Structure formats: structure tokens, C-alpha cells
Amino acid sequence: MSTERDSETTFDEDSQPNDEVVPYSDDETEDELDDQGSAVEPEQNRVNREAQENREPFRKECTWQVKANDRKYHEQPRFMNTKFFCIKESKYANNAIKTYKYNAFTFIPMNLFEQFKRAANLYFLVLLILQARHKMDKEINNRTCEVIKDGRFKVAKWKEIQVGDVIRLKKNDFVPADILLLSSSEPNSLCYVETAELDGETNLKFKMSLEITDQYLQREDALATFDGLIECEEPNNRLDKFTGTLFWRNTSFPLDADKILLRGCVIRNTDFCHGLVIFAGADTKIMKNSGKTRFKRTKIDYLMNYMVYTIFVVLILLSAGLAIGHAYWEAQVGNSSWYLYDGEDATPSYRGFLIFWGYIIVLNTMVPISLYVSVEVIRLGQSHFINWDLQMYYAEKDTPAKARTTTLNEQLGQIHYIFSDKTGTLTQNIMTFKKCCINGQIYGDHRDASQHNHNKIEQVDFSWNTYADGKLAFYDHYLIEQIQSGKEPEVRQFFFLLAVCHTVMVDRTDGQLNYQAASPDEGALVNAARNFGFAFLTRTQNTITISELGTERTYNVLAILDFNSDRKRMSIIVRTPEGNIKLYCKGADTVIYERLHRMNPTKQETQDALDIFANETLRTLCLCYKEIEEKEFTEWNKKFMAASVASTNRDEALDKVYEEIEKDLILLGATAIEDKLQDGVPETISKLAKADIKIWVLTGDKKETAENIGFACELLTEDTTICYGEDINSLLHARMENQRNRGGVYAKFAPPVQEPFFPPGGNRALIITGSWLNEILLEKKTKRSKILKLKFPRTEEERRMRTQSKRRLDAKKEQRQKNFVDLACECSAVICCRVTPKQKAMVVDLVKRYKKAITLAIGDGANDVNMIKTAHIGVGISGQEGMQAVMSSDYSFAQFRYLQRLLLVHGRWSYIRMCKFLRYFFYKNFAFTLVHFWYSFFNGYSAQTAYEDWFITLYNVLYTSLPVLLMGLLDQDVSDKLSLRFPGLYIVGQRDLLFNYKRFFVSLLHGVLTSMILFFIPLGAYLQTVGQDGEAPSDYQSFAVTIASALVITVNFQIGLDTSYWTFVNAFSIFGSIALYFGIMFDFHSAGIHVLFPSAFQFTGTASNALRQPYIWLTIILTVAVCLLPVVAIRFLSMTIWPSESDKIQKHRKRLKAEEQWQRRQQVFRRGVSTRRSAYAFSHQRGYADLISSGRSIRKKRSPLDAIVADGTAEYRRTGDS
């Protein structure tokens, strides 16, 4: 059976992609793609017999060997790999995981490398972002479980576990490594696990050990002496596949994925279980899927680097020009001026060389070394604002939003594409019974027992039912009246069908019924029947017991016809206590309607109800039944028994037999289940779409389920044209043909043609499965012959041809992938379903690579980690699926709806603040520094500074630092409510409109003009001046004080003009900085400090002498006015003539305070128009029918081992006699 299951998920080179399977997606083990048909089973038995004789591996590909309870076995030299020069380490990883970027040894060199990517950044040591990730890894690695050591189970930490260890796990424990299930407390060593960390599904799945290990490995002493050898595949990232063999007691036993517990699973409803560690730590499948930890930097970071390089070039050119000027001046003037002789007979060229370095020092403030410190302070503050935002706090689980990095905040305001998981991210993972249609009548609206509709009505009280769980919210009292009165027998039969036709397992805890279902839908239906009075109580191999309105009745189960992805239905055949034989069936409407008896009076009414349910995005299921004559069943049962024990093509034989009995069915009605979305999902998606952000859903769930959620969250609407994999494949094939036809000798000279795939207009969406994705992107693996593996190119010509062939294939693949991305980006929505974690990351990478767009990935499970790490920004939902996604994310919160606030408010504000900060920072530094440049024309290019040394030191530290920091932290053009109401404001960040090279050069020019005004107006005023006392303070020191005073006032008033959101703090910082400047200047120019430090403070009395002259103040005022008035005039004209969206909203913000809340658009239902069907969400594996029929799940005495030893892996279905 293992080989049959494996064959369903392995595709042949020429096979058609299967929408129902999760595709193979692993680059490391492509040799393992040989077909495994049903004919492999006898071959396997033959190989096992040979293995028993020769002790040779049954497959050469299975090179991973695990020896139970023998750590020294794995330390043999043949298992050692050379890591670095002569340093060797075992190929078996220990169980400690590392998701952090650095360790104690690599921190300094890697951090140096990473920080020096930021040009001129000498302050990298303050960026210690390491501790949180180390802390979480340490917490996981220090979890404990029981490991056999010295013949006894002892408590050990996860990081101490090694390959080959036998461990014991208890109920609700996380599985610490990939282990082979040996035995458990359940009968036949069944073990229930929750795989939410792996695939996002919260419904329980069962694993089952080999029967030989179940028989012999229950006791501690037996487990301690267990010495089995496992040969299996090398570590890989395929979650749904495993191939290996256990050699024990001179016999080989085949192993498959059904016997493996993967790291990240949680043990449920199983008191304890034992397992053998096969893959540990970094070798586990979940870690293989997690991808590499990437260093993430923002677009602005890269842009800042290029701008700093530009400033470096300008600095060198200016210094070189001034040095040449000094050499010329020295030759013409300096050598002939005896009073300038300094005692050194240096040549003008040499003096010019020294002056070059002098100006490098004088003009060094052009290079904003302090910029990076200020940027990190602003980012840190913005991260805390995200952490402190109470509107992103989820009180129900006490979970605040968390910025787990401080380096990406402004990039939140530049997102183009969002890649979202579905289960647990968009949905709550809660299935709820909402409505039903019985005998053509729809139930589930708000109405009383008299069939009168009410807008406000109390929910149904189920207290009359002792088995009701009290969790079902239902408002149609008329349905309860119908059940209790029994006027319509179809109503009771409807809920009886839900209670009997399923593969749910039940146990009792403290007197309460607990159901374990193969899918959450099935669990919701059985729970609904339970609340309406038809409670499933217990089952054995051949019976099922139902409480029908308080009366317990037991039915003989004659056959269970289980679900699979092709049948899309299940049936059960039971014998009633009265001796009648009935078949009950439920399934997708598309398959049920094909099998109905032609005389079904409620067929059309049920069809209309299905249309209504589908338009309400509910998941529908049709229910039907038929009575079977004794003779008909006897004949059919013979065929059924024969198909059940078929050694080849068993599934196909059973399906054929099922078809014979599942016909001429009588329709009872339909159920409607809500896959409950998280609160605010449709509103969030709508607002993000208005912000021109495209949302792609990447999920491992089935196509029908994913499509249903697309309608529920309004990614898809009734007027959306949906394109599927086969449509996309044909479009891309035609495009490739056209591109090939246009190619040729002159193709490289012709301009590239960008033709749209779809005609303009219309709303289109793309829904594609993982199998089609591999097919379209040419990622599908090809089988390789054993002979070809040994064939190497023998001649240079052959090598050249093979190289050219590979290049052509790579070019074709790249062009195909680019075409796919172009096509997908023309769609308003993209849904990729049945995709693996690796495929999720691949899709994100394709958009990053070919669209050069900023991407965000959001998910809640371990299967989303690779995607989260690949995107520019990763967001983790701290939901029901553990903390793996959160640990790997950059930001985390509890609900998807908080994403709109993170992007449209915090992201946009952060982007605007950072852009304003950078523009202003460059402006003020150029205005400050270039005064030295103009001054050099009047001092012989001597590298003399235009300011006092203390002013140069304190300018960026005290006089201008606080206002710009506060603007970078607090400024906002509009309020958070208006930011959410007008998502179009977000577009400026996507288009890089607020900070780019153009904006940079405008800031540079603004600084140049300001520096000219600051220098030349005081210079003109000082040329011919007379003070009030007849003295003219036209000395250098007074001139420096005048320029410095005008500069401080100008740049602080300039930031006032740039500030959109005025608070007391902003005003205090601006005027406080100016006051601080004057206070410090008068103090530094006092006689007292000169007496204490005569060499350090040489401007004694300058401030008091210069600033008591009125014309000096007039000069300062005139300078400031000339600097700022043009800016005021330009701002006024631009806001009046070319106002931006933000300007318009600011202008009318008082009127907009009475804003109305966003209303979810109403869908218009058009009867008979919908072609959509909401299919049943089948489990990704078969249901529990085989398990139930075999009896292995029922508590009983352990069966002898003879059957498994004699017959291998055959399983028999057993049916009860009438």
C-alpha cells in the first residue's frame, strides 16, 4: 500500500499535472523519481528476501543508515565529511537548530561585513539585533523529552538528541526530530498527530507503526535492546514522502511516510508513543523547508549608499579643485608676500597637496557619518511605536504586535505584492455549520418557530439535548420545531445521515464526547448532527451507535466506501435494527447529481439552494440515500470482498465496485459550512487593493477550498474571469512560439515587444495548482536512466554541445518564467494551491527577480517560513500553528486585519518620515559645509574654517539634531484614520516619489543656494559697516558668529516648514535648539571659560560684542528671510496649483473628521448565473475507513504476529455479516 500511495504523488515526465496532489519539489534528490506502480509490490518482496540473505540495501539510493541505540555506529570514518581543510564532522546533524544569523565566532566578521555594506558607517557596533533569535532558539533547544540512555529512559534536552536514539513522547508533546514510530499506547500502535506546523491543517492525522515493532517494542527493556538498522533516503524537504527499509530479526520491512512522525508535529489523543530518531536538527524535513536566513536591507539603504558615494566624489573633486587653486595662489601671491612666510621652503605643488588633505578634513561634514546613527535611532523609535500600538493588540490571546527588526520599517511603505498563506492566516481554521437545505426547504435564516423572519432573534437553545456541546450558534427556530415534531421525516433522516455517514473517531474525556475527523468539514457536520439531536456515540469494527433524540440505536456497518480526491464523495452501507439495508452518501454536488434517480422532486429546489449557498461563499455538500434489497447487496458484496483483497490495482478495483452501488440515489438536501474567515479580512484586502497592492494567496489546500476562500475574502467576485493551469499553459506556449518566431539574426537589434496577454478591461484572476506550476515553470523533474548517469562527454565537441544545450534550456526556462510572471501580474488576484513550502518561496523569488518589486509574505505555520525568509519583509501570524513563522519573521501580530494598519499607517508614516529626514539631513549638511567652500575664495584657499571649532563640533550633535529626529519619529501628513480611509495615499511610496536621485540633487542644490546666501549676504554687510560706537566689528570672529547664527536659525525654521504635524514637542525642539545655540555660544565666548582653557576657547567676548550691534541682527534676519521666503513661495504655489492627494486631504481634514466607515460592498445575487461550486474539503489523505474496517483502531487484544511476518503489508477489509 505504501507504493500505491507514493505513486499518487510522483508524476511522470509525460503525465498531465494533477490538481489534487502536492507536487514533488526538491532539488536534492531528483534521482528518486522512478515510477512506483502497483507492480512494484512483488518486486519489493523479492528484494526483501534477497536482503535477508545478503544484508544488502534494497535500494542503492537509500544511503542514509540509522542504527538504533548505537551512537558510536554513526561516528565511523565512512560517515565523516570534510568541512574545512582537514576538519571533519559527522554527516549526521545533532538536534540543535540555528535560525539566528550569527554565533559567538562569526558575529564580529559577519557583522563587520554586513555593516560595511553601508558606506561610511562607523557606528555599526550599536546595531546588536542578535539577542531575540538566539533566545528563541535556546528555548527550543532546551525543551526536554525522554531518551533511552544506559538501558533506561532519562530526561534529556532536545539539543542532546542524536540520530539512532529511541525516545518517548507524551500527549501534547512536540516531536523533536523526524522519528520512526515504533509503538504507542493506542491499540496497534496508532498515533494521532496535528500537523499544523507543517501544512497548516489542524485536523488530526493518524500514523501507524509496523506491526512487528508494535508487537515487540512496548516495554522499556525491549526498546533498550532494540538494534534495528534503517536504510533510507538522504535528508530532503519532501514533507509527504519517505522511502526506507528496516532490517531487524533477519527480515526487512518497508517504511513509508505513514510510519514517520516529523519534527513540528504535536502528539494528540495518544498517551505516549516511542520512536527512533532518523533525521535530527538541520536534517529534519521542516528545517530543510525553512530556507536560509537572509540579510534584509531596504531600498532606501541601497539608495543611501549610492548617494554617499556621490558625496564622496563631490568631496574629492571640491578638495582637488581648491588644492589646485591654493597651488596657483601660492605661486602668484603667497611666495611674493613676505608676511606670509612660515619658515618652510615648500613648493606650491607640495603645499597644494597638503591643502587637499586639509580640505578633506574641513569638508568632511559633507559625508553624513552621523546619518546612520540618526537613521537607526529613528527606526528604533518607529519599531517601538508598532510594538505599542494598542489597535494592533489582540486582547483575546494577549498578543501585541511585535517589530522583530529595526531595519525595515520604511520599506513597509513601499510594498507592491503581498503573498499570503490561507489556513490560519486568512481563516480561523474553524468550520461552522451555517445553513442547510432539506427536501427543498432552506434552513438557517433568522426566524422563529412559526417561520416568521426576524432581524434580531435569540439563538437556538440546545439545552433540551444532553449531548449538545453548546458551541453551535444557530438562529432558525423553525428547524428545531421540525426536528422535534417529526412532521417531515426527511428532516430527521437528514441529520441521521450526518451522524452515521463519516469516518470520525470518538473517545470520551470526563464524560464528554471528543471527535477526531480526517477533515475539519467532516468534524463540523458530525458536531452539527450531535447538536440537533443525532449524536454519534461509539463504533466498533462492524457497528456504529447513534443517539437519536435521546434513544440509542446500534446499526451494523456492512461497508464503508471512503473518500478520495477522484470520488469526491463517501458512502456507508448499514443494516438497521429492523433488518433493512440502506446506503447513505454525501459528496460534492457535481458527482452526486450524476448519480441521482431521475425521479427526484426536490432536485431543482436543491440546485437553487446550492447557488445561494455558493454566492454566500459557503462550502456545500449534497446528501442522499437509497434502500438496497438483500439480494442486490449479497451480489455486490461478493464483488466488494474480491476487490478489497486484490493484490494489484486495489484502489481502482474498489472504485469500480463503488460505482455499481452508488446510483439511483434519492436526494435529501445539502449542507452549507462556513470556513470562518478572520475578522476584517475582506475589508483589509479591499483597502490594500485600493492602495495598489496586489495579493497572491499561496496555500497547500485544495483548489476548490482555496477558490472558495478567494470568493469569501472578496479577492474573487462573480464578474471575475478565472484562468486555470491549462489555460495559462496554452497562453504561455503560444507566447513562447511567437517569441521564437520573432527571433533570428536581427532579433537582438529589435526593441523588445511587451504585448499584454489579455485584452484591456475585465477583471481576471489566476488559480493554479502546484503540479501545473511545476509544469509551466519547467521545474518538473525528469527521470534519468541509470545508464545515462554514467555517461560523460568524451570529446571537446560533445562537451561544447552539451554546454550549449544546457544554456538553451536555461534560457528557455528563464523566458518561460518571466512570461508567467508577466501574465500573473496582469491578473487582479492570483491563488496558488496545493503548493509546497519550497514552491511558495519560488513564486516570491520570481516576482522579486523579474518585477523588481518590493514583496511581503505573511503566514502562520512552519510551512510558510521559507516564503517569509525569501520576501523583502516577512510577517508572522502568532495563531494556532505554533511560533515557527513568528520566529523567522520581521514583524508579527495575531490577526491578518492588522496588516492594513501596519502598511497603510505605520509603513506609510515611516516611509514619509524617513524621506523627509534624509532630504533635510542632506540639505542642512550641505548648507553648513559649503560655506567653507565660498570662504576659501577669500582666504587664499588655505583650508581655513569659516566657523568656530566648537560650533563645527556641536552643529550636528546639539544645534540641529533634536528637531530632525523628532520629525523622523513623530511627523505625519494625515491622521491614522485618514490614512486608512484613503489608501491611495500609499502609492507615493510604491513609486519612490519622496526620495530618489532627483530629490537628492534638489536637496543638494537647495543646500548650495542656502550656503551662498549665508556667506555672501553677511560678507556684503561686513564690507562697509560702522557700529553705533563708531567701531566696525568686521573681524573674522564676528563674521563667523553672524554666519553661524543665521545658519542655526535658518535650518531650524526650515524644518518647521517641513513639519506637517505640529506638537508641543516639535515646537519646543526647534525654538529650544536655537536658544541652546545662543546659550552655549555666550558661555563659550565668556572670559571665565577662556581663563580656564585659554587654548580651547579663543573667541573671547566675540558674541557679546557682535550681537549688541543692531545691524548684525538685521543682517541675520535678512539672511534668514532670503533663505526661507523662496521656499515658502514655492510651497504655496505647489499646494495651490499642483496639490498632492495628501495636500487635498490636509486642506479638508476638519470636514473629513466626520468620516464614514468603510462599508463592505454588497453582492447582488443573480439566480441561475453562478457557475461556482463550493466543494467538500476532502482530507489530503484518505479518510479513516480502511482503519475502521480493519479493526486496528478498536481497542482489543493484540493480534499475533504471524500475519505480518507471513504476508508482508497486505491489509484486509472486513465487513459484518447480516
pLDDT along the chain (1218 residues), means of 10: 36 54 48 38 44 44 77 78 68 70 58 47 38 62 89 90 92 91 86 75 78 89 91 84 87 86 87 92 82 76 88 92 89 69 75 89 82 88 93 89 90 94 80 90 84 76 87 88 88 94 84 81 91 91 89 92 81 92 91 89 90 81 93 92 77 87 92 86 91 90 79 84 86 84 56 73 85 79 42 72 85 87 90 85 91 91 83 84 74 92 94 94 93 91 88 89 91 88 91 91 94 93 67 77 94 92 91 94 85 81 83 92 94 87 78 54 43 49 64 49 35 36
Instruction: Say how far apart CA 92 and CA 234 lie, in whole Å.
Output: 10
Measured in residues, the chain has a length of 1218
Report in angstroms the alpha-carbon separations of 461 from 431, 457, 458, 471, 526. Answer: 20, 12, 8, 11, 18
Per-residue buried b or exposed e for 673-692, using 16+ beta carbons within 10 Å of the residue's own CB:
bbbebbebbbbbbbbbbebe
**Choice among 199, 240, 283, 421 that is catalytic:** 421
Question: Look-up: residue for cell 505513486?
Answer: 7
Residue 180 DSSP label: E
Is the CB of residue 902 less than 8 Å from the CB of residue 405? no
In terms of Cα–Cα distance, which of 863, 852, 906, 853 is closest to 888? 863
- What residues have CB less than 8 Å from 428, skipping those under 6 apart? 676, 677, 678
pLDDT at 721: 87
Strand order in the sheet with 543-548: 441-443, 427-438, 666-677, 619-628, 581-587, 569-575, 551-561, 543-548, 534-539
β-bridge pairing 272-279 and 166-170: antiparallel
Is the CB of residue 613 less than 8 Å from the CB of residue 672? yes
Instruction: Say how far apart CA 315 and CA 321 lie, in whole Å.
Output: 10
Question: Is residue 973 flagged as an active site residue?
Answer: no
E strand map for 577-665: 581-587, 619-628
- Global pTM reads 0.74
From the CB of residue 15, how many other CB atoms can be counted at a distance below 10 Å?
12
Please give the backbone phi and psi of residue 1195, each rounded to the nearest 5 degrees, phi first: -65, 120
**Cα angle for residues 876, 879, 882 (degrees, 5° grid):** 85
- What residues have CB less than 8 Å from 262, skipping those under 6 apart? 175, 178, 195, 198, 239, 284, 285, 286
In terms of Cα–Cα distance, which of 1192, 1184, 1200 is closest to 541? 1192
The residues that bridge with 538 in the sheet, in sequence order, are 545
Is the CB of residue 229 less than 8 Å from the CB of residue 58? no
pLDDT at 1169: 42
Please give the backbone phi and psi of residue 1196, each rounded to the nearest 5 degrees, phi first: -155, 175
Instruction: Say how far apart CA 895 and CA 1052 lie, in whole Å.
Output: 42
Per-residue buried b or exposed e for 967-997, using 16+ beta carbons within 10 Å of the residue's own CB:
bbbbbebbbbebbbbbbebbebbbebebbbe
Report in angstroms the alpha-carbon separations of 265 from 191, 355, 782, 1134. Answer: 11, 69, 32, 60
Instruction: Say how far apart CA 1061 and CA 386 lie, in whole Å.
Output: 19
In terms of Cα–Cα distance, which of 519, 577, 621 is closest to 203? 519
> Cα 1040 vs. chain centroid, distance in angstroms?
56
Instruction: Say how far apart CA 832 and CA 1183 lie, in whole Å.
Output: 25
Instruction: Say how far apart CA 618 and CA 1173 lie, in whole Å.
Output: 9
What is the widest separation between alpha-carbon atoms in the chain? Answer: 131
pLDDT at 696: 93
pLDDT at 529: 94
pLDDT at 118: 45
Residue 638 one-letter amino acid: K
